[in-house]
Homo-oligomer: A and B are copies of this chain.
Amino acid sequence: MGSGPEFDLVRRMVARWGDLAANIGSDAGRVELPAGEQAVASTDSAIEGVHFKRQWLSPREIARRATVAALSDLAAAAVTPRAVLLALGLPEELRDVVEEIADGVGAAVREAGPHARIIGGDLTRSPHLVLGLTVIGSGAQPLGRAGARPGDAIYVTGVLGGPQQAIEAWERGDVPTAWARDRFAAPRARIAEALWLRERGAVAAIDISDGLSSELAHLAAASGCEFRIDVTRIPRPAGISWQSAVRGGEEYELVVVVRGDLDVDAFARAFGVPLTRIGVVRASEVGRVIATEDGARVDLPGGHDHFSR
């Protein structure tokens, strides 16, 4: 790497990453992929004022969360994370916290398993903080959204509703509960969970970035089946309605379609979070989601759309 303030900032970040960084400073970073595996890639941006406000989260939390959001797409594909690239748009006044940003990215990459490395990136001035994360993973047979068949069961990981509750509290000027804040500020990419489920009959999956309601619609549309959901089963804490739990985005939990029996207790013991069966796949002429509450049909409120008002 050369000299100058831009490279000094990069060097400060690379110093924090240590062994997590590989080959930084080239034009194009090498991606180490096992022979015979299929590679997949995903990109995700977190833009100040759109996805977060600087006063809600620390720079470390902002960076970790943005990285988890990208890695979560690899969890949905049930592949092993191999490479991470960071495109950082940094306002002048945040140069002092570049180490904290590096630490946040590093924490998420470290949690993503032993094979993930930061192999490159791009650093530039920007009027707003912008984090662009691209992740590359590989696996023998990545999961997609299609593949559900009648008789399959529909599961969701974790407990929903926290991020939405935290945002609503901040927007009212309140302080969110510790649980809700943590769910927003420190989500986890369910990588290990996805690999576990992949080995035990998972045939389709998606991560909850825009809300359970819209993710179920994506899965149902891709598979051309009916997804019949019992809304009373949707995992949420006391005090959060199922309507709120299905609407909220940025959960980074997984919705997984599974063929055959699954030991949900073993999952909970292995990962410390619940796995909950929320419904079943049925034959249908069109892909659709049917929700019931105590046997009666109910409407699922829609998910989050970045271009809706």
Question: Which A residues are closer than 8 A to B by beta carbons?
Answer: 1-7, 9, 25-31, 33, 35-36, 38-45, 47, 49-51, 72-74, 76-77, 79, 83, 85-87, 89, 95, 119-128, 130, 132, 134-137, 142, 144-145, 206-207, 214, 217-218, 221-222, 302-303, 305-308
Contacts and interface: CB of A to CB of B under 8 A. Distances in A.
Residue of A33, A43, A130, A302 most packed against chain B (CB within 10 A) = A43
Given A28-B42, A43-B122, 10 more contacts: A2-B214, A4-B308, A26-B77, A29-B40, A30-B142, A31-B41, A85-B134, A87-B87, A128-B128, A132-B132
A127 B127 CA distance: 9
Contact of A29 (B5, B29, B36, B41): B41
Contacts of A142: 28, 30
Contact of A50 (B126, B144, B303, B305): B126
Contacts of A72: 27
Given A4-B307, A39-B30, A307-B9, A45 B137 contact: no
A41 B119 contact: yes
A5 B307 CA distance: 6
A47 B124 contact: yes
Contacts of A38: 30
A38 B39 CA distance: 12
A148 to B, nearest CB: 14
Given A5-B308, A89-B130, A126-B50, A120 B42 contact: yes
B42 A85 contact: yes
A125 B29 contact: no
